[in-house]
Structure 1
């Protein structure tokens, strides 16, 4: 398909009711939104679901407030009683400097939409749990929503809005509401298990991943949050992040403790430093609980030496958690090194930017498997709403075909654009892409072998670093493609990553090699030559800009 005319500012991208991205056409508008400018944020009609509350969820919350006379208070909706209670606990003892409240100022109300004749489960509507709090705590509640990804989805809100005539408050139950039962969940779990076992890079243990090893969540962030708590319940010790991992992973560890260490580049020298640290701790009789990494990392597409990490894990007795979202199931096989695999299913697996979902997979050959499985099974509730699951299952049927297209397109574009770095006085200072990175051998070690059905590649994302902010700004502003958050969609998405994610922490980001002049690009299913033409025209505009400064 050809690149479409981009949507206007603030509109959903793609143009779908449950889209997870939003068009932010200019560098200046991205900065204004990241800084919380009221005019800029009010112009948004959509946004990434953990950062922007979908209109249907807003309408449902307002209806609950009105029905139960809570107009002087604010509320946040969850489909899991455990999540609602965790939200209340966080608001009482938040550690990020937000305002906190007292236990009696925050309540959890149970909301039903069924009747004696038509129970909730017949309508595929589990109970909702409203955390009710004073307006001054809105910032704290919003941060919990972002850090945990456990809030209700727009599809679930839409279904509840259809049942408002049956809304009622019910007595808070002692146990969380069980999940709606539907065969679609097993279909998704089995599909993920099959993909993880597809074309392995090396021999493994005797057990294969099965559907019972796959746990579904309402977002990738929810999978991270629950994996972190699983490890806290297992060992309750320090975690380590190696290689630049998504900033919210780090913030989740900060928020829910107990502590973490950060080795941002993931180089061999840093792994040497990590080994010395682990040895010192071991001599003191102290163990860490886990090392977290990505394959590859966001946004610089680096891949750490996971073989070395695995050796350290076996020696010093800790868990390896790998987020394979960017490499994705099709291209990389991390089961030989990971005890736990985290994936944002929102991205390439779903592929159409209209479902928020995540998964956690336990490696059945891990020495920690039985203990971790027991911890998860004791409290696990499937909060992925059934309507989201249906859409996810439908969208992911052609995952391998889409992955092929995105691999080919990104590789073609990088082959054409990467030479810009070596041009004298070039406006492009660096390009980041797995095969062009210093860590390419580490990525290749995890790349699946080719089969008749699929040839693995380097994923659909790359990042361009420019020589100056004004040049990067001109490139983005003149780029005639969709510009907004998320990756792995069927439409190409460009984002000035630091301006959106680290607007208030630019110095910290740059100290870890993440410069504010980068533009991250996630390719879609558009024609690769037409995409190249769009990029070249934007580069030409940026080059003219450089000549004027």
Structure 2
């Protein structure tokens, strides 16, 4: 696959109806969007589903407003009644929002069906909708819940609903989809994930293997995180700890849904020392935490904490270890020897084509907590990954291992040729972040799967370039002739000035944890590696030439 000419500003990346990224070609436009500039936001025709309502969902919401709701009311649509009730509870929580909380009496719940009783096939594709209806002044609270939890409907589900607007009606009690009516794509995905996570283990043979029943699918990676957090709140309801710079969503969920959390940003040995002292102090007081969350490796600095040490502390002080392996991926890293629970954003390299939002939670059957957690999760779990998304995810993920091999090779090739710039004091590049270049390399290698005849593991398809100044980073990004936008693990290379987009209003906080505003994250795609290298080198040359203006 040769390099693809970048699309126009605001257009979907890739150029498909259900794309999860968007082309934002300049540093200035990215900053404007992150700061909430309405003109910049309105120029977008697409966006990452966590922060942008897909046009199909927008049209469906407008149709519902016309058909059912009184003037001056707004709906938020869900495919799960529990999510709708949770949204109402979140909006009206004074514990979370204080005086800015909505009034529970001013929020209503509505049930919508599409006349599917006579057609099991139609019922499969068009389950009931559950609407949370509220005055416009509370829209921000509803949107925040939708962004944090990933429990809203997908663009594919909205598209199906739009095809059946003539059947749409309100009902008092929705007809639930019978559990036996399931598409085989779900089982295929769960079996594929179970096989992948057990492939080429790092540690000696484990007594029990992950089965498809240990794999729980969700409509997004953020939904998997949200539901796992609530599983633990129902289990123990205690403090959680984040070790290493885990991506911002985990922290935002813990801030929103409590009860409390502690953050050790860099995940260094010194910070784990501090964490251990805190655990010992809690132990003397008879207090336990519920879980530690970490990544393998982290986003965007590609660091890996000493997970073996975390596992030892968990065994000693009785808490759960949760590992997000999205960036390392099922192909490259084996975290089951560490994790009680594994979280993965299937949107990224597992799907690989930036056109499906999905996530998974895996319960480790060898965990000492498995017999407690499995019944709890099974009892509360509802599969809300829409069937059309599952079908596409199953098809896309068939060649996951082949794509993972190419992403490993391309990223490693590019890093080897760009990293020398960081050693040149005359260069605008101050550092390149990649698992094999970090102080934590040994920690990553400890979880790296052994090579087999079929696959040689690598370091993933993500790396980050740090520049000496904001101006140099801006010159580089603006001149880079590649796609620029959110998400990772796609078939198309995506560049993003991570802090400018994610922490635009929290730059000082990010900097205190070593994440500077001068970084540009590169998620490689399936394009020819020489073409990609040429694009990167030309942009670096332009940034170097601009030094005299810095």
Coarse TM-score class (shorter-chain normalised): over 0.9
Partner Cα distance (1:389, 1:174) in 2: 22
Residue 447 of structure 1 corresponds to 448
Tell me which moved more, 111-120 or 60-69: 111-120
Residue 48 of structure 1 corresponds to 48
- How has the CA–CA distance of structure 1 residues 147 and 130 changed in structure 2, closer, same or farther, with 3 Å as cutoff? same
Partner Cα distance (2:251, 2:176) in 1: 31
* Mapped pair 1:489 → 2:490: yes
Partner Cα distance (1:28, 1:120) in 2: 48
Residue 377 of structure 1 corresponds to 378
- How has the CA–CA distance of structure 1 residues 191 and 432 changed in structure 2, closer, same or farther, with 3 Å as cutoff? same
TM-score by length of 2: 0.98
**Contact kept in structure 1, 2:117 and 2:123, CA below 8 Å:** no
**Contact kept in structure 1, 2:74 and 2:135, CA below 8 Å:** yes
**Contact kept in structure 2, 1:113 and 1:163, CA below 8 Å:** yes
* Mapped pair 1:92 → 2:89: no
SS of the residue corresponding to residue 292 of structure 2 reads strand
Aligned length: 549
Partner Cα distance (1:90, 1:178) in 2: 28
Residue 433 of structure 2 corresponds to 432
Partner Cα distance (1:120, 1:88) in 2: 31
The equivalences for 1:76-225 within 5 A come to 76-93=76-93, 95=96, 99-118=100-119, 122-172=123-173, 181-225=182-226
Partner Cα distance (1:183, 1:234) in 2: 31
**Contact kept in structure 2, 1:7 and 1:13, CA below 8 Å:** yes
- How has the CA–CA distance of structure 1 residues 84 and 515 changed in structure 2, closer, same or farther, with 3 Å as cutoff? same
Partner Cα distance (2:175, 2:258) in 1: 26
**Contact kept in structure 2, 1:201 and 1:449, CA below 8 Å:** yes
Cα shift readout 1:427-486 (whole Å, capped 9, x = no counterpart): 011110000000000000000000011110000000000000011000000000000000
How big is the shift at 1:327? 0.4
Partner Cα distance (1:297, 1:359) in 2: 18
Residue 321 of structure 2 corresponds to 320
- How has the CA–CA distance of structure 1 residues 180 and 89 changed in structure 2, closer, same or farther, with 3 Å as cutoff? farther
Q: Which runs of 4+ in 1 moved over 6 A?
A: 174-177
**Contact kept in structure 2, 1:433 and 1:461, CA below 8 Å:** yes
How big is the shift at 1:173? 5.5
SS of the residue corresponding to residue 436 of structure 1 reads coil
How big is the shift at 1:256? 0.4
Unaligned runs of 5+ in 1: none
Residue 519 of structure 1 corresponds to 520
Residue 287 of structure 1 corresponds to 288
* Mapped pair 1:479 → 2:517: no
- How has the CA–CA distance of structure 1 residues 526 and 174 changed in structure 2, closer, same or farther, with 3 Å as cutoff? closer
- How has the CA–CA distance of structure 1 residues 176 and 379 changed in structure 2, closer, same or farther, with 3 Å as cutoff? farther
**Contact kept in structure 2, 1:340 and 1:362, CA below 8 Å:** yes
SS of the residue corresponding to residue 455 of structure 1 reads coil
**Root mean square deviation, CA, Å:** 1.4
Residue 329 of structure 1 corresponds to 330
Residue 62 of structure 1 corresponds to 62
Partner Cα distance (2:387, 2:120) in 1: 16
How big is the shift at 1:71? 3.5
Residue 532 of structure 1 corresponds to 533
Residue 419 of structure 1 corresponds to 420
- How has the CA–CA distance of structure 1 residues 90 and 262 changed in structure 2, closer, same or farther, with 3 Å as cutoff? same
Partner Cα distance (1:46, 1:69) in 2: 27
SS of the residue corresponding to residue 435 of structure 1 reads coil
How big is the shift at 1:181? 1.2
How big is the shift at 1:205? 3.0
- How has the CA–CA distance of structure 1 residues 180 and 45 changed in structure 2, closer, same or farther, with 3 Å as cutoff? farther
**Contact kept in structure 2, 1:239 and 1:291, CA below 8 Å:** yes
Partner Cα distance (2:217, 2:271) in 1: 33
How big is the shift at 1:170? 0.8
**Contact kept in structure 1, 2:128 and 2:174, CA below 8 Å:** no
How big is the shift at 1:156? 0.3
Partner Cα distance (2:194, 2:181) in 1: 21
Partner Cα distance (1:523, 1:67) in 2: 45
Partner Cα distance (1:104, 1:224) in 2: 30
How big is the shift at 1:124? 2.3
TM-score by length of 1: 0.98
How big is the shift at 1:517? 0.3
**Contact kept in structure 1, 2:19 and 2:355, CA below 8 Å:** yes
Tell me which moved more, 241-250 or 180-189: 180-189
How big is the shift at 1:401? 0.3
Tell me which moved more, 173-182 or 346-355: 173-182
How big is the shift at 1:424? 2.1
SS of the residue corresponding to residue 443 of structure 1 reads helix
- How has the CA–CA distance of structure 1 residues 201 and 267 changed in structure 2, closer, same or farther, with 3 Å as cutoff? same
**Contact kept in structure 2, 1:99 and 1:140, CA below 8 Å:** no
Tell me which moved more, 347-356 or 422-431: 422-431
How big is the shift at 1:116? 4.8
* Mapped pair 1:20 → 2:17: no
